[in-house]
Amino acid sequence: MKKKIFASAVFLLLFIASAGAQDLNLAVNFLQGEKSKDSHSAEESFAISNSSMAYTVKYTGKKGKNQQDMEKTCTFTEQDLKNIAKTIEAKGLNVNDSLFQESSKTKSYEVYTRINIAINMDGQEYKINISGDTKEFDEAVLYKNSVFFITMLRKMVADCK
């Protein structure tokens, strides 16, 4: 628990320290979980301050054999940052918006998510918050584009040295 609080604090400090800059800075937290007899979840955090990137992933509950907690830091190239900014604009993530769905306590099975994206780009701040049962968001463009963006960031982290 202390490690999770420390990692969250590091991400928050990186984001706040760079909030006044004219470059791209972002903090993303993505939780995906399943409520079932074998409940489990994965929580990923991405923080980018100028070109520095920090990433963590933590799994709880029933884990698959390839699901290992991980922390990684690296430096993104100028082109990586341009691609991120271009995707933010193309996918309409440069907004302040929220999607919330209250889960039913009577559901015995549910795949749920919590997505928090904070972006500071070219002096503008944007925040996206999404929380609830993923089935409720199947048609929501903001949800689809946020998941696309997180998937892109995950691949960039894997390729980053």
Query: Of 29, 127, 23, whose CA–CA distance to 80 is shortest?
Result: 23
Say what the pLDDT of residue 62 is.
72
Question: What mean pLDDT comes out for the span 112-138?
Answer: 93
Q: What token pair was written down for 67?
A: 């699901």
The full DSSP string for 92-139 is T-SS-EEEE-PPPTT-S-EEEEEEEEEEEETTEEEEEEEEEEGGGGTT
Q: Is the pLDDT of residue 105 over 70?
A: no
Residue 95: domain span = 2-159
Say what the pLDDT of residue 110 is.
77
Determine the Cα–Cα distance for residues 30 and 11; give it in Å rounded to an integer.
13
Domain count, the chain: 1
What's the pLDDT tens digit per position in 3-44?
Answer: 554 455 445 444 444 443 348 999 999 999 887 667 788 999
- CATH number of the structural domain spanning residue 85: 3.30.1560.10
What's the pLDDT tens digit per position in 38-96?
Answer: 778 899 999 999 899 999 999 987 767 778 899 999 999 999 999 999 999 999 999 99
